[in-house]
Amino acid sequence: MSCTTGSSVCREVRQESIGVPMRCWCGRKVDLLVSKTNENPYRRFYRCQGVLQRKYESHLFKWVEVAMPEEFEEQRVEIGKAFSELERMAWEISGLGRSLKSEMGKLEAHVCQLENDVKVREAEACRNTQRGVVGVAPHLVLAVCVAGGLALVYKALCG
């Protein structure tokens, strides 16, 4: 970068900064100043605070109209990255939602199956209980008949 500020010639900066500079390569802060030269009247620029103390080193100098478009471009790129990240996150959340919905469907089906199993077992238990009553009755009848027969035999033999 070559430029002129007043009577002094701006030398090339050691480390090119993109956008609005905050600090010079030397670590000093940067001032926002206004040119008072006939060549660049009222033109604004950034300059290292150390430039006057160390005249022979090339400290940061940058016109505002050069820095601003770079700054906007930087911001545009950052916003683009942020949007991409948001899109990726939205896609992930959407995927998680689909996965969750699928898992919920499986769980509902499982619960439904368990409810059916419980109903089937209750019905079986109910049938077994009824069958148990019916099943005991013939044995009871047989037992009563056998006892009666034995009583008759005993009476006939001993009576």
E strand residue ranges, 6-149: 8-10, 30-34, 44-48, 61-63
Owner of token pair 């950052």: 78
Minimal distance in Å, beta carbon 28 to Zn ion? 5
Minimal distance in Å, beta carbon 2 to Zn ion? 18
Q: Which residue is nearest to Zn ion (CB)?
A: 24
Q: Measured from the CB atom, is 2 or 38 closer to Zn ion?
A: 2
Q: What are phi and psi of 103, to 5 degrees?
A: -65, -40
Minimal distance in Å, beta carbon 60 to Zn ion? 6
Q: What are phi and psi of 13, to 5 degrees?
A: -75, 150
Q: Measured from the CB atom, is 17 or 40 closer to Zn ion?
A: 17
Which residues lie below 8 Å from residue 63, measured CB to CB, with a gap of 6+? 3, 43, 44, 45, 46
Q: Measured from the CB atom, is 15 or 38 closer to Zn ion?
A: 15
> Site residues (CB under 5 A) for Zn ion?
24, 26, 28, 48, 50, 59
Q: Measured from the CB atom, is 27 or 138 closer to Zn ion?
A: 27
